[in-house]
Structure 1
Amino acid sequence: MSDPQHGARPARIEQSAAAAWPAGRTETAAGWLLRHTPGVARRRSNSALPPAPDQHPEDAVDAVEAFYRAAGLPVTVQVSPAEQHSALDAALAARGYRREAPTLVLTAPTADVIAATPPASAAVVIHPAASAEWLAAYQELNGPEDTSALAERVLARVPSPAAFVLVRVDGRDAAIGMFVADGERAGVFCMATRQEYRRRGLALTVLGAGARWAATLNCHSLYLQVEEGTVAARELYSRVGFAHSHRYHYRVH
């Protein structure tokens, strides 16, 4: 099945992803998006996203470094899309930046994900915002590390329209996911399954519920980010139609 957004420009996907995961503070400098979220340790919340390569982002690294040093943070750059930023990546490596967290960005036609996943059931609950119930499940399934701050300073501020999907099994919160729509695409975030309920297809249930929600908003494609080393997750996403769009990694100094 054809999908007009499946081949969407990687840079546009990155813009959607940045909007879907709001930072506590943002500034722009020479086209760079500088993000900082106090109390949250995630790279995504405290990293700089470069402009298009034809704007020569490697020439403005000093401004990026000044922003993060003023905040008392390591200087972290999300080199994305990596395929387009070889000059920037080389410049950061020459400055002594180390490479971390190589990540794949995958996209899929929404209709294909719907076709490959089970229909919704009574076990699925969808919240339009980060409810106390969903946030409690998120923290329980992800462990204590900075989840309270993340819930308050990022997830509670996710822009609408969004779908916070929760699947219950035996009366327990068993799997979650978050979907954020932006025009004709929707991002998939926060996928997690309670360990004792893994390999039961609950992640497929979450993806199916989110894809069906996205379809009601005329989102023709979905995108998600998955670290290269997570083989099981990559295989799962491939089964429901996700394919490679681009890569990114972080450079940290």
Structure 2
Amino acid sequence: MTGQDPADPRPEVRIDRSDVGRRVSVRRLSEFVDGRPVFRDVIGVLESWDDQGLTVVPRDGRPVSFPEKLLVAGKTVPLFPARRAARMPEADPVELQRIAARGWPAVEQQALGEWTLRAASGFTRRANSVQALGDPGLPLPEALTAVRDWYRLRHLPAYVEVTVPGSPEGLIAELDRLGARYAPTLVRTAPLAPLSRLASGHKGAPPAEGWGRVRLSRTAGPDWLAQYRRVTADAELERAAVRVLHGGPSVWFATVPGPEGPLAIGRCVVDGPWACFGAIEVAPYARRAGLATAVMAVLAARAAEEGASGACLQVEAENTAAIALYDQLGFRTSHTYHYAQLPQR
């Protein structure tokens, strides 16, 4: 919040461009009716403030933009306090897998019966694997041959996302026969409210250290992408990554700015009652300072404002450090699925 000069003609404007990414309340001149000014208020994330004006994203997700000259009042406001009574939504493994796919959509998708072939120039296994839920419409040996052919044409390894329950009976036996290699991934869920309350110490909860430094945005800028470990100098891969990262029903990116680039980043997709977290990264020199928790807490508060009540994420089974953090934040394992890599023919 910025201190005001006594000579400022708009003393009620207590925000400036450094508050981009924070939750604010602003009042703007909307119109004149019978010669009298009409003002409108909006509360939400200050998405941008530049020479073209301000954009605020309220809880309904529809941006409100207006020229700076129409701003008559503004201040930062506390993050949205999640309702304690909000019940965690119910979802079985199949539904959670589909929610995760919507929040991480591949650049190219093609149906194979009820299966979904997905490709994104090799950017992550989730976006470059066949989601094998339901009936592929072919005998399993023929279906897996079609999968291998589809990925070979794209010069990609053939991965099958195997979920039990969800994938067809006999799939694992057929994959074993072909000599597939497996990599397990945990799907973890938690109530959203306790995590969101860490963002501001709501009603006595101890606030996450550093939460006030977190900034939110609808887009992943160059600094955010530079901090994300999975993006490389490969131009085609980076284009695919940008498309995947920005895909989903309601996508938010979090950044903790630092003097030489982001100290921490994160991503959250709000899909109805679910908030799906990912890309939680902390710079090596900034670890063990609670920044990952702060990033997730602020993202959770935004998701709660949009009506979410459950949190979910995916984590590789061998990532013990991340699993320990998620344990502390109340996450528990819903199910385990596997990426089965088919050998090349």
Q: Counting helix residues as a fraction of each chain, which structure ranks higher?
A: 1
Larger Cα-atom Rg: 2
Asked if 1:153 is matched to 2:240, the reply is: yes
2:154 to 71, 74, 86: 71
- Structure 1 residue 71 displacement after superposition: 2.2
- Structure 1 pair 224–144 and aligned structure 2 pair: CA distance change class (3 A): closer
Under a length normalisation based on structure 1, what TM-score does the superposition of the two structures give?
0.86
Does 1:235 pair with 2:328? no
The separation in 1 between residues aligned to 2:271 and 2:250, in whole angstroms, is 8
Residues 188-238 of structure 1: CA deviation (Å, up to 9, x unaligned): 011100001101000000110110010011111111011111111111111
* Aligned residue identity for 1:75: A
> For 1:186, what is the secondary structure of its paired residue?
strand
Q: Tell me, yes or no, if the aligned pair for 1:99 and 1:251 is still in contact at 8 Å.
A: yes
Q: Flag the 1:168–1:148 CA change in 2: closer, same or farther, 3 A.
A: farther
1:54 and 1:75 mapped to 2: Cα distance? 16
If asked which structure has higher relative contact order (CA below 8 Å, sep 6+), I would say: 1
Unaligned residue ranges in structure 2 (runs of 5+): 1-83, 200-206
Which of 226, 229, 245 is the equivalent residue of 1:142?
229
1:126 alignment counterpart: 216
Tell me the equivalent position of 2:176. 93
**Counterpart in 2 of 1:17?**
100
Of 55-64 and 234-243, deviating more is 55-64
2:278 counterpart residue number: 189
Q: Structure 1 residue 30: deviation in Å?
A: 1.3
Match among 182, 187, 192 for residue 110 of structure 1: 192
SS for the counterpart of 1:142 is coil
Deviations 1:22-43 (A, max 9, x none): 21111001111000112x3421
Report the Cα offset of residue 7 of structure 1.
3.5
Indicate how the Cα distance of structure 1 residues 245 and 143 shifts in structure 2: closer, same or farther if over 3 A, else same: closer
Using a 3 Å threshold, how does the CA distance of structure 1 residues 147 and 111 change in structure 2: closer, same or farther? farther
What CA RMSD, in Å, does the superposition of the two structures yield over aligned residues? 2.6
Identity of aligned residues (%): 30
The amino acid of 1:194's aligned partner reads A
